[in-house]
Amino acid sequence: MLPAILFLLNKEVGAKPKIKGRSFKLLKNKNVLLLMLVAVFLVFGVFGCGGPATPPADEDAGEEPAAEFEGEVLLGIMVPTTGSEASDGGDMENAALLAVEEINAAGGVLGHKIVTSTGDDGCDPSKATAAASKLISEEVFSVVGGYCSGATLPTLKLYGDAGIPFVIAASNATTLIDENPGWAFMINSTGDAQAAKALEWFEGLGVETISLVDDGSAFSVDLKDQTKAAWEAAGYAVLTEDRVETGTQDFSAVVTKIMDAGPDAVYWTAYQGLGALLIMQLRQNGYEGIIMVGDGSSAQELIDLAGPDAEGVYCTAPPKVDFLPAAQDFISGYKEMFPREPGAYAGLMRDATYLLVDAVERAGSFDGEAIKAALAATDSFEGLSGPVEFTPQNTLNRSNFVIIVAKDGKWALAE
């Protein structure tokens, strides 16, 4: 990469001095400019987190297919590998590549070797449309991926029209359900499932009254509203609903209100930074009830920040591989192949890839219609994140959220 940029720069700088005028004086000194740019480049190399460390694996170029394969089939991967969500997207691509390698090592699917092609949706609807068109024109037999719901949305019709089955690993907005022409299958629980999980867990703990706290972000307010609706529909009471501002540190007024109301449990629906502050201030003011936080606070950072006060805090979390006992082999395999942690959605992406291969084997062909029918008929497929079965709307028929609990300074599965 660096030599290529230097080469381009050299060309640029070489062309400039032809322009007359004093303002270009600085540019004439090629060496100084080059050194400065190299320095800037190096600095960004050090500070920036760097792009996702994916191997250049669009096609397994140079590797001859092993003799026992009858041929190759092309699997499409659609994830954001650039843009703001490139980190999670890169994890998902890696997980799919790892799964494909394992499947090929075990003899491929229906005697065929799987090769992959990645379409970058950039977490952007227009880029996603382009990525989908690219994958369709390459004649992939199926697509796995889908991270940002907004980017996934416009591709559903494209894949549907082309007759290409699409297993959606992460996107889970409820709007996807309405736009789905029937060719897409969502293996991540939709938004309302988290509230249902929280309700189920509170009931199991014998909680009857709760207080809800959000930070005003659309995501946290939505979770709060869903929880409130589910909780009240079940016949229980929400004692207080409060909001804290992002950037604030002082929750004492909220905490005093909660202490006054005296709920059995407090549910925080936003992110870990403020969540840690809320937990500490609740405990410091003598709150001894149950505290639960939403998936936005499921990072280890919450426990690191809140320290001993975090002990015993529950969290409704997405099925991250770290918490799944079945995923230990996957994690070590992942770390061996890629120099990074698997991230939140790698497990789901791996499940999506295996599910698709399973469906192809059950269908007995690479025909789109046959695969679609096989996917719809999926019967307790065992993924890392639990069994997969679909509703008539092609969504997961259960909540795949898990309850984790802070124990000895780490998240651990509570169930």
Partner 1 sequence: MTFWEIFLQQLFNGLLIGSFYGLVAIGYSMVYGIIKLLNFAHADIYMSGAFVGLITLSLFANTFVGNAWLGIVLSLLISMLLVGMLGVLIQRVAYRPMLKAPRLSILITALAVSMLLYNTVMLLTQGQYKPFRTGLTHDSFFVGPLRLTETRVVLLVAAIALMIILHLFITRTMYGKAMRAISLDRDTCQLMGINVFQIVAITFFVGSALAAAAGIMAGVYYGTVHFYMGFLIGLKAFTSAVIGGIGIIPGAMLGGLLLGLLESFSTQIPFVGTVWKDVFSFVFLILFLLFRPTGILGRAESERM
User: Which residues make up the interface to partner 1 (CB under 8 A)?
Assistant: 47, 216, 241-245, 247-250, 252-254, 256-257, 259-260, 272-273, 276-277, 280-281, 283-286, 301, 304-307
Burial class (CB in 10 A: 0-12, 13-18, 19+), 154: middle
Residue 224 or 372: which CB sits closer to partner 1? 224
In whole angstroms, the minimum distance from the beta carbon of 221 to partner 1 comes to: 10
- Find the shortest distance in angstroms from Cβ 244 to partner 1: 7
**Cβ distance to partner 1 smaller for residue 149 or 226:** 226
CA angle 393, 349, 409 (to 5 degrees): 110
Q: Considering beta carbons, is residue 135 or 279 the nearer one to partner 1?
A: 279
Rounded-to-integer distance, Cα 188 and Cα 395, Å: 8
Pairing of strands 402-407, 410-413: antiparallel
Q: In the bound complex, what is the minimum distance in angstroms from residue 19's beta carbon to partner 1?
A: 32
Smallest gap from residue 64 Cβ to partner 1 (A)? 44
Q: Judged by CB, which is closer to partner 1: 38, or 277?
A: 277
Specify the residue, 284 or 328, whose C-beta has the smaller distance to partner 1.
Answer: 284
Q: How many Cβ atoms sit within 10 Å of the Cβ of residue 65?
A: 15
Element (H, E) at 119: strand 112-120
Q: How far is the CB of 393 from partner 1 (least distance, A)?
A: 34
Q: Are strands 290-293 and 142-145 parallel, antiparallel or unpaired?
A: unpaired
As a whole number of angstroms, the distance between CA 151 and CA 122 comes to 8
Return the number of other C-beta atoms located less than 10 Å from residue 400's C-beta.
21
Nearer to partner 1, 66 or 253 (CB): 253
Q: Give the H or E element holding residue 238.
A: strand 237-243
Alpha helices per DSSP H over 234-261: 252-261
Q: How far is the CB of 250 from partner 1 (least distance, A)?
A: 5
Identity of the residue, 14 or 216, whose beta carbon is nearer to partner 1 in the bound complex = 216
Task: In angstroms, give the least distance from the CB of 272 to partner 1.
Answer: 8
Q: Return all residues near 205 (Cβ < 8 A) that are at least 6 apart.
A: 265, 290
Least CB distance to partner 1 at residue 238 (A): 13
For residue 334, CA distances in Å to 51, 93, 346 come to 17, 11, 9
What DSSP state is assigned to residue 63?
P
State the DSSP H helix or E strand holding residue 281, giving kind and residue range, or none if neither: helix 272-284
Comparing CB distances to partner 1, the nearer of 34 and 259 is 259
